Structure 1
Amino acid sequence: MGKIAFVFAGQGAQYSGMGKELYEHSAAAKSVFDIADSIRPGTSAQCFSGSDEELSLTKNTQPCLYSVDLAAARALVEAGIHPDCVAGFSLGEIAALTFSGIFSEADGFDFVCRRAAAMQNSAENHPGSMAAVLKLSNEQVETLCQEFKQVYPVNYNCPKQLVVAGEKSELALFVKRVGEEKGRAVLLNVSGGFHSPFMNDAAKELSSVLDGLTLYTPQIPIYSNLDAALYTVEEAKSRITNQINHPVKWQSILENMAADGVDTFIEVGPGKTLSGLIKKTLKDVQVFAVQDKESLQEAMAHLL
């Protein structure tokens, strides 16, 4: 077997009840939630019993998803499954940064709370939305975006799937243009135009937050959303800051991991979105998704 990668789920995968079984069956996972609750009381309760509406608010989504992502990763390590490298999709990158050791446990959670608040404020002050474009090449989508003043390619997910962010009225016209080019655009249920200039204020604010934190040398290789390259402590601050208002190069991350010898991917955190993107991007790889007791045991059965 080749190398194992943990990939940390991103915003949009949340659901009520997420993480509860991990909390109940893994001491390592419970510790993650305990730290979260000590800094932001009620985080575990939101994960385990919060309403869909409550969990859809960015200020709640990000701390909760971060906790479940990190809890799943810690539960795997506790069970004896260790990754050779990691990456996280958008919000998931913050949990991956903590897992890799760039953030301390407390600083990682504190930062994700500040990130969530800053991004929600940016979304409210600079309203935008997002759409997933299917069936067109990245180059076709990029060309279509250039027809509009405020529509930007932001999430390079997998072949023939690129998410764009845009001003709402322009995005409606963009969706129509995609159809004219024989593509398909699906509007996403999100609260802002993430990973685009709509988030410039958040990036500026969080750059100042990072000035007050100590960032450490990663103890495990972690691939950056910004350019799909490996993080270094010297470039960590700029990568974390620029990730907020620049595109996520997820397809390139997966391709670089595979080129570096990864043939087993474990999605950690709620849902199976990243598992689907992996299967659409790479061939001849194993893919697992760990989010509860059953999926943890399934991964253990195959890998231990």
Structure 2
Amino acid sequence: MKGYLFPGQGSQYIGMGKSLYHHSSQARGMFETADRILGMDLTQLMLGGSKEALKETTVAQPAIFLHAVATAFLSDSFHPAAVAGHSLGEIAALVASKVVAFEDGLHLVAVRSKAMQKACQRCPGTMAAVLGLKDEVVEAVCANITEEVVVPANYNCPGQLVISGSQAGVALATEALTKAGARKVIPLQVEGAFHSPLMAHAQESFAEALSSIPFSKGICPIYQNVTGGPVTDSERIKANLLEQLVAPIYWTKTIHHMVQDGITACIECGPGAVLQGLTRKIAPGIPVRSLWEGAL
């Protein structure tokens, strides 16, 4: 039984999508549809844009989404028993598993990315990856900082937990975590405090977009970030997508639950190999590979 994984923001790279674009007319059609729906030349930004341009939330999110969905759609071997996406990747997973139409997924990503960017401007913040500490230690340090906002945001794998919050909150947590024995606390090059209460302002417009999009049953369960467990009910999927903006990403739980439910191999769809690396650390006995490497 195969579980397919879809990456989130940060997986973008210069020239992403060139192989996809030249692979078939179907892929080119998807790129052209994205340009039209988004009202920008996403194709050019992906194929020949700068690192700075690709880093912008309103570019990075649709670029990663398009790359991931096209990878799945172009593969004859894409037959998932389950799907999961890291943050933004949940929308790509829903489109690939036929819960949401491609055009509607693009709309959701566009609204989400713009809403998150506005929230970043309204409530500036940052994130940092904490390496070498148990989750409970990081949670306790964050809980003890009450004068600023700082929370656990991404439970990526054992020994790697990303924190998110105000600049001052993350700075205070960095100092305390270093004293607590963290091997490293690495500032992330992000535009804001994703998956923290500082993203609350993004929820209103994203909720409106979710309510306007039809959701179908789909071809398999999606294991969602906010619980790590499988979901098939449309209303629950929507509620979890909305909560995810301000709630932690439980990626470690997600992979554990997929394996416990019978997934015997995981395949990453989309740019980069971040999720492959995390999955190998979470479930060392599970084969992991990229769909692009072996199936197209």
**Residue 82 of structure 1: how far off its partner (Å):** 1.9
- Is 1:68 the counterpart of 2:67? The answer is yes
Aligned-partner SS, 2:227:
coil
Cα distance between partner residues in 2 of 1:10 and 1:27: 26
Q: Distance in 1 between matches of 2:63 and 2:163?
A: 25
By how many angstroms is 1:228 displaced?
Answer: 1.2
Seq. identity, %? 37
TM-score (norm 1): 0.92
Taking the aligned partners of 1:27 and 1:233, their CA distance within structure 2 comes to 32
Relative to structure 2, which stretch is displaced further, 173-182 or 25-34? 25-34
- The residue number in structure 1 matching 2:294 is 299
Verify: 1:241 aligned to 2:242, yes or no: yes
Distance 1:102 1:68 in 2: 18
For residues 246 and 285 of structure 2, what CA distance do their matches in structure 1 show?
33
Q: 1:272-304: per-residue Cα shift (whole Å, max 9, x none)?
A: 1111100110022111124xxxxx3x4239xxx
**Shift of residue 27, structure 1, vs aligned partner:** 4.3
Answer yes or no: is the 8 Å Cα contact 1:30–1:71 preserved in 2. no
- C-alpha displacement at 1:71, in angstroms? 1.1
Superposed CA deviations along residues 196-231 of structure 1, whole A, max 9, x for unmatched, are: 101101012211222222222222221111111222
Instruction: Indicate the SS of the match to 1:288.
Output: strand
Q: Tell me, in whole angstroms, the C-alpha distance in 1 between the residues paired with 2:217 and 2:33.
A: 22
2:264 corresponding residue in structure 1: 263
Q: Deviations over 1:96-134 (max 9, x none)?
A: 111122221111101100100000000110000001111
Confirm or deny that 1:98 pairs with 2:95. Answer: yes
Matched with 2:290 is: 289
Deviation at 1:13, TM superposition (A): 0.9
How far apart are the structure 1 equivalents of 2:25 and 2:265? 25
Q: What residue number does 1:22 align with? A: 20
Structure 1: which 5+ runs fail to align?
291-295
The one-letter code sitting in structure 1 at the alignment partner of 2:18 is K
Worse-matched range after superposition: 243-252 or 95-104: 95-104
Partner residue, 2:139 = 142
1:1-304 equivalences under 5 Å are 3-40=1-38, 41-76=40-75, 79-149=76-146, 150-183=149-182, 184-231=184-231, 232-290=233-291, 296=292, 298-300=293-295
| 8 Å Cα contact 1:127/1:193 also seen in 2 | yes
Contact 1:135 1:160 in 2 (8 A): yes
State the one-letter code of the partner of 2:215: L
1:254-273: CA deviations, max 9, x gaps? 00111111121111111111
Contact kept? 1:215, 1:236, Cα under 8 Å: no
> 1: CA distance between counterparts of 2:214 and 2:156?
31
Aligned partner of 1:293 in structure 2 is none
Alpha carbon RMSD of aligned pairs, Å? 1.5
Asked if the contact 1:218–1:233 (Cα under 8 Å) also holds between the matched residues in 2, the reply is no
Q: Distance in 2 between matches of 1:211 and 1:281?
A: 35
Cα separation, 1, equivalents of 2:152 and 2:24? 39
What CA distance in whole angstroms lies between the structure 1 residues aligned with 2:142 and 2:16? 36
For residues 295 and 97 of structure 2, what CA distance do their matches in structure 1 show? 21
Deviations 1:58-95 (A, max 9, x none): 0111111110111111122xx33422111110011111
Question: Secondary structure in 2 aligned to 1:29?
Answer: helix
Aligned partner letter, 1:8: F
Partner secondary structure for residue 104 of structure 2: helix
Shift of 1:39: 0.8
Query: In 1, are the aligned partners of 2:72 and 2:78 still within 8 Å (CA)?
Result: no
